[in-house]
Structures are given as structure tokens and as C-alpha cells.
Chain A
Amino acid sequence: MSTERKDHAALSDIFNKDEARVDWHDETLWFVRAKRDKAAHNIPEWENLRETASQIKNNVLSDLHNYLVEFETHATNNGVTVHWAADAAEHNQIVHSILQKHKVDRLIKSKSMLTEECHLNEYLHKNGIDVIDTDLGERIVQLAKEPPSHIVLPCIHKKKEEIGELFHEHLGTPEGMADPQFLTAAAREHLRETFLTRRAAITGVNFAVAETGEFVVCTNEGNADMGAHLADVHIACMGIEKIIPKRKNLGVFLRLLTRSATGQPITTYSSHFKKPRPGQEMHIVLVDNGRTTQLSRPDFRNSLKCIRCAACMNTCPVYRRSGGHSYHTAVAGPIGSILAPNLDMREYADLPFASTLCGSCSNVCPVKINIHEQLYKWRQVIVKEGYADPKKKLAMKAMEFTLSSPFVYKNAGKAGRWFMKYAPFTVNNKLNLWYQQREMPAVPKESFGEWYKKNKKND
């Protein structure tokens, strides 16, 4: 069996074998994009809102040190214990040690892409601790033993029949039952028991306010709250870039986040956690894991403005037709493609090329990250660092040679056209990737250059 890791192109190729399914996946996500458009167009000042959010985040990145210290000071004064994790491993160890201290061997977790990035569930499982993901989409992929494919809609790649099968196997729902209402009700029952019995809850953080030390967790389901308000220990995990300066800035971000993500004016719950419940322990783990490195890259640091709305994924024509798993990283799609190479350039060298640079992503980004420009710039870095396919390198050198000399160019063009016309089999074959599903362009009787020479040169 081949152990060669498949890249985005190979994984997308597999994904595209089932065209009907690709259509379904594409249409489902386009529907989410359309809902976002409707919500945005309801806000005449939308573009101003984006510009404001962008500038707030620019300010945050430029003063991040002070904001982090300010946040820590206030959170600590509020009775929250603040931890710092340099990398994923340390994050996992910190969470583990808190759980060990409380003799917790089972807990619940609401959506946190950061914990996904750190592979926390796997780590805890190896250490004998059971984690149940309570976000319905995450619970579904957890039962399916898969990672989420989308940062907001974790099981968008799964059909209701497949979810029905999973629930039949793990929750005892009737075989063949695929009604979303029924399945959701079954999940409510199943997870309610865990909320009522587990003593530790992990949540993510959507926004952390430097001014007050509070943090906000946004959900539609209420699972973060059900977990946190019933547990003895609440651990909130966040990337250091999730800081915002002042409480009032939440006005801007909460107006943008959910409209960008799902087209709703706001999530059902936007919960502001400031102090632990009396008798409860509250912890925040601040995680670096490559963020300070990204901060040092002038061309790419703006990717740290991301508020994890996934609007870029919903609009990306490539993401919709290749699926989140084709990106083989926790955060997929356009934003993932500019974040991941910073973490491991070799592993994720393929991602910035999984794009036509159409620019739609940059237009929907609520904080105006110039995603498509960063994709282009990552391509230059990846090639410079030596992670380009050697075949490509050869082809590019040949192209450089041909295109920087008018003489070589004209003759190469002529030769190419000759082969296409008189020996088409040399071009129209299995080795020609273009030809797999497309006809080659028809061969004109002369190039424009040749026509011009004949007809216009003397004008």
C-alpha cells in the first residue's frame, strides 16, 4: 500500500469521481454564500463595517504584546487562571494537567478549531480521557471518526442518510431514519445526559476582550453554555490572535461574524464569560503554535486577523468542488491555505496552488484579509524554499527560455501548432492533462504575428 501522502490535487481528483455528490456539496455551500449575500445587502453600511473591523484587527496585531498583557491582568483579577502554551503539545499538556488535578476522565467540548489544530481529542484519548464533542456537526464527525471538513459546518460533507446510519449505529435511532428534526432531537437527548454528568467543559473563544478580561463564545445550539454552566471546571482555549481591544468593539464583530458565516444576523447565543461561577474554576489557555512566526512575516501576518467565519470557504469555487478534507489540515479552504504553510511548508506546499486566484475570498472576508494576494506570495516563497515539484521547475525554466526570446517564442509556437495540426496524436493523448476532458484549441492557419506581418507591417 502506498504511504505517499496525497496532495490537494490528488484528493480533489478522488472527490470529483462522484460528480453528483460534488454538485450537491457545491450547491449546499453556494446556498450558504447566498444567505451571506442577502444578510450583507441588508446592511447598507456593510463595507464600512468591514473596513472598521479590518482596522481594529490591524491595530490589534500592531499592539498585540500590550493587549495580551492587559487581557491577562484583567482575566486574572476576575478570578480566571491564564495559561500560556508555546505550541500544540504544550497546550495539550496544560489541558491534561488541569483535568488530572480534578481527577476528570471524561469531559465535553464545544466547537474549538484551536483544539482541532492541536489534535487535543487524540491526545486526551491516548491518556485515557474521553472527550465528547457537543456541537452536533462535530459529534457527527466524531462518531464517524473523521475530522471536521468545514470550520463552521463540520459535517457539511455528509448526507442526512449517512448521518442517519451513524445515529442508528451509535444512538439507536431507527434504521433508515434520516429526518433532520428527528435526528437532532435524538442528539439532544443523547448529549443532554453528558451535559448533566460531566464535570469539565472545554470551549473555544470567538473574541477575547483586552479591556475587561472577558471572552465571548458564540453558538447556535447553546452547547458551550450547557457545558460551562454545569461543569466544575471550564477551560477556554484560544489562539493569541483572538484578542480585541475593547468591549465596544464586539459591536462591530458580532454584527459581521454570523452574517458572514451563515447569513444569520447573530448566533442564538453570544455568551460573555468574565468571572467563574461561584465554586467553579475557569481557565484560559493562550496558544502560540506558530502564530508569532506568522506575525513576523510582513506579507502574511494579516492572515492573523481571521475571525474564523468560513465565508471564504463558502465562496471558494475550488473548496466547494473539492471539500475540506482535500486540504488535509484542520482549517481548510482559502484561509487555511495561507495559514498552514507557516506551520509546515513542506506538508502544505500544495495548498496555495489549490486556487485560481479568482479573488472572491478576499471580497467576502469580514476583516479584509487579502487572501488571494497572499496565496500568490506564498507560491513564490514555496518555490524559493525548494518545495516546488521538480518537474514544474523544469517546465518553468523552459518557459522562461522560450518567452524571453522573440525568436524562440515564434518558432516554438509555429512548431507546436504544426504538431497539433499534422500529428495531433502527439498532443491528443493520455499524457496531455488538458486533453483528459477538453478538446485542444483549433489550430489557426497563422498566428496573429504572422498575419500582422503579412497584412499590416507596412501601414
Chain B
Amino acid sequence: MTVGLFIPCYIDQFYPNAAIATLNLLSKLGITVKYPVNQTCCGQPMANSGFEHLTQGCNDLFIDNFDEFDYIVSPSGSCVLHIKDHLHSATAEDKALGIRKKVYELTEFLTDVLKVEKLEARFPHKVGMHQSCHGQRGLMLAQMTELVDKPYSKPLQLLKMVEGLELVELSRADECCGFGGTFCVAEEAVSVKMGKDRIADHINHGAEYITASDMSCLMHMEGILRRQNSEVKVLHIAEILNAE
């Protein structure tokens, strides 16, 4: 199988380690991963701001870069959800449809496609799992507390394979962190308050690390943690699953 690595723009620019960990993790699992060097962004920041009509350039670029692969994998729930829901093309709609069917967020790729049962990973720390909303409610990566249905969680399934890792329980298992794209600056007061509350939940339950399948959530929480001079660190789940 050929796998194209789709790296969100802000991970590319600010958190390359999450991308490197993703690449290394997939390689360890025997997958040959290729990173199309001319990728930029999925277009979500514009679309979520009401400017979906400006995303055609991004869309076409995405299609050009990723059409050739059997699977497209990305360490980002929200970007994958965006592509799944909104990738269209005026000139190559059949390719767009094809891509929407074969794009996966990292953890669901591991559990559903590769059907990973064990990982050679070790991370002996207390970790709080932040359920990024788009991955959870959009991609169904984990059960949602609002619904009356059987519990499951693909990210947690994988974290449980990591030696020494201690998962902390939270008061509010799946409340939004407040990043929300341009919301983080357009509604700065509420965004930060939401972030502070999320962090407090993790800290109150003893987390040393906060992890998630979305770096955007973590970037937002990290900004607040560092402003608070907190010892708590954020780490993308790929880095934990790849930790030795």
C-alpha cells in the first residue's frame, strides 16, 4: 500500500516533531510513507470563517498532491474531517470523491486499517487525553458523552498499548478546548477561558502531559500553560505512540 503523509500547515511550521513522529511510527509499522513536498494546507481556516468559496486553490493543490496514493494519513482530526466533508473540485470531482474516501486520521488508520494490536512504545508518565472535537464527533474516533451508546476510543485503545503510561481521568471527558480556528482570536476571551478550564481539569487530576490527536488544540493549551509557567507539557499522540 502507498501512503501519502498529509501534514497540517501549523504542524509543518511549528511542531515538526509531531510530523516526524508520525512518519517514524508508520515506518516502524512497515508502511512506506511519502510526503508530497508541495502540500500546503487543507483550507479549513478559510472555510470555517465563511470563505469556503476561496478554497478552490487549496483543494486543487491537495488533489494534485494526494490523488496517487492508496491512503492519505494525517496527524490531525480536524484537517482530515475538513477534507472528508468539504473537498470538492470543479474540474476533478471524481478524484476529490476518491480522496474523501481514503483519507484517515492517524489513530483511526492504526486501529481500523493497520489493525495494530501492540506497539513498541514506552512513556512512563501521567497523561491526560484531550478529545479533540472534530476527530471525536466528526470522525467518530471515540464515543461522545452526550450519547447513550457503547463506549469506545481509538486513541485510548492505542495509548493503552504504551508501556508505563498512566491515563488520568477527567471531570469533563470531552469538552471543547476553545481553539476553534479563527475563533481563538475572534472570540479571544471565551477561547482562552475554555482553554484555561480544560487545562485546569488535567492539572487537577495530576496530568504531567496533555495529549490529543489535534495539534491545534494542544498549541492553544500550550500557549496558556506556558503563560501560567506550568510544568505540564503538551505532546501530540504520535509522539507518545512513537516514544521509546
Could you list which residues of chain A lie within 8 angstroms of chain B, going by C-beta atoms?
A: 8-9, 12-13, 15-16, 19, 22, 26, 30, 37, 40-41, 43-44, 46-47, 315, 317-318, 321-322, 353-360, 362-364, 376, 379-384, 388, 392-393, 396-397, 399-400, 402-406, 409, 413, 416-417, 433-434, 436-444, 446-449, 451-453, 456-457
**Contact across chains for B13 and A404 when beta carbons are under 8 A apart:** no
* Chain B residue contacts of A364, Cβ below 8 A: 146
Which residue of A is nearest B229, CB measured? A439
What 18 new A-B contacts, CB under 8 Å, besides A321-B197, A396-B46, A441-B223?
Answer: A12-B189, A12-B190, A15-B189, A353-B50, A354-B190, A356-B191, A358-B137, A358-B180, A383-B50, A396-B49, A400-B51, A403-B40, A404-B60, A406-B38, A409-B40, A433-B188, A444-B14, A448-B16
* Chain B residue contacts of A383, Cβ below 8 A: 49-51, 53
* Chain A residue contacts of B145, Cβ below 8 A: 37
**Contact across chains for B190 and A16 when beta carbons are under 8 A apart:** yes
Given A382-B50, A438-B220, A453-B37, A354 and B11 contact (CB-CB distance below 8 Å): no
Given A403-B43, A416-B13, A444-B14, A318 and B190 contact (CB-CB distance below 8 Å): yes
User: Which secondary structure dominates where chain A touches chain B?
Assistant: helix
CB < 8 Å A-B pair total? 210
Q: How far is the CB of B5 from chain A (nearest CB, A)?
A: 9
**Contact across chains for A317 and B176 when beta carbons are under 8 A apart:** yes
* Chain B residue contacts of A355, Cβ below 8 A: 180, 183
**Could you tell me which residues of chain B, from 23 to 62, have a CB within 8 Å of some CB in chain A?**
23, 35, 37-41, 43, 45-55, 57-58, 60-61
Which residue of A is nearest B132, CB measured? A358
**Those 10 A-B pairs whose CB atoms lie nearest each other, nearest first:** A404-B57, A356-B180, A438-B223, A383-B50, A379-B50, A363-B146, A359-B137, A358-B176, A448-B16, A358-B133
**Contact across chains for A400 and B55 when beta carbons are under 8 A apart:** yes
Q: How far is the CB of A442 from chain B (nearest CB, A)?
A: 8
Q: How far is the CB of A248 from chain B (nearest CB, A)?
A: 23
**Contact across chains for A409 and B9 when beta carbons are under 8 A apart:** yes
Given A379-B50, A383-B50, A409-B9, A356 and B133 contact (CB-CB distance below 8 Å): yes
Flag B186-223 by CB within 8 Å of A: 1 or 0 each: 11111111110100000000000000000000011011
Contact residue among A356, A392, A397, A405 (Cβ-Cβ distance under 8 Å from B183): A356
Q: How far is the CB of B52 from chain A (nearest CB, A)?
A: 5
Contact residue among B39, B60, B138, B190 (Cβ-Cβ distance under 8 Å from A359): B138
Q: How far is the CB of B15 from chain A (nearest CB, A)?
A: 7
**Contact across chains for A46 and B146 when beta carbons are under 8 A apart:** no
* Chain B residue contacts of A448, Cβ below 8 A: 7, 11-12, 16, 19-20, 35
Name 15 interchain pairs, CB-CB below 8 A, sorted by A: A8-B187, A12-B190, A44-B148, A356-B176, A358-B137, A360-B133, A376-B47, A393-B51, A404-B61, A406-B39, A434-B188, A439-B226, A447-B13, A452-B23, A456-B23
Judge whether B178 is part of the interface by a CB distance below 8 angstroms: yes
> In the complex, A381 Cα to B49 Cα: how many Å?
11
Could you list which residues of chain B lie within 8 angstroms of chain A, going by C-beta atoms?
A: 7, 9-17, 19-20, 23, 35, 37-41, 43, 45-55, 57-58, 60-61, 133-134, 137-138, 144-149, 172, 174-176, 178-195, 197, 219-220, 222-224, 226-227
* Chain B residue contacts of A353, Cβ below 8 A: 49-50, 183, 186-187
Contact residue among B11, B48, B54, B176 (Cβ-Cβ distance under 8 Å from A376): B48
Contact residue among B13, B23, B147, B222 (Cβ-Cβ distance under 8 Å from A47): B147
* Chain B residue contacts of A362, Cβ below 8 A: 137
* Chain A residue contacts of B40, Cβ below 8 A: 402-406, 409
> In the complex, A88 Cα to B53 Cα: how many Å?
35
Contact residue among A30, A322, A442, A447 (Cβ-Cβ distance under 8 Å from B190): A322
* Chain A residue contacts of B43, Cβ below 8 A: 403
Which residue of A is nearest B18, CB measured? A448
Q: How far is the CB of B214 from chain A (nearest CB, A)?
A: 12
**Contact across chains for B185 and A434 when beta carbons are under 8 A apart:** yes
Given A355-B183, A413-B12, A448-B16, A403 and B57 contact (CB-CB distance below 8 Å): yes
- Most central of B11, B19, B189 by chain A CB within 10 Å: B189
Contact residue among B37, B41, B146, B149 (Cβ-Cβ distance under 8 Å from A449): B37
Contact residue among A404, A443, A449 (Cβ-Cβ distance under 8 Å from B58): A404
* Chain B residue contacts of A360, Cβ below 8 A: 133, 137, 144, 146, 174-176
> In the complex, A15 Cα to B189 Cα: how many Å?
9
Contact residue among B49, B52, B227 (Cβ-Cβ distance under 8 Å from A437): B227
* Chain A residue contacts of B144, Cβ below 8 A: 360, 363
* Chain B residue contacts of A40, Cβ below 8 A: 148
**Contact across chains for B220 and A356 when beta carbons are under 8 A apart:** no
> In the complex, A358 Cα to B223 Cα: how many Å?
20
> In the complex, A447 Cα to B8 Cα: how many Å?
11
Contact residue among B14, B41, B45, B219 (Cβ-Cβ distance under 8 Å from A409): B41
Q: How far is the CB of B96 from chain A (nearest CB, A)?
A: 16
**Contact across chains for A456 and B35 when beta carbons are under 8 A apart:** yes
* Chain A residue contacts of B222, Cβ below 8 A: 439, 441
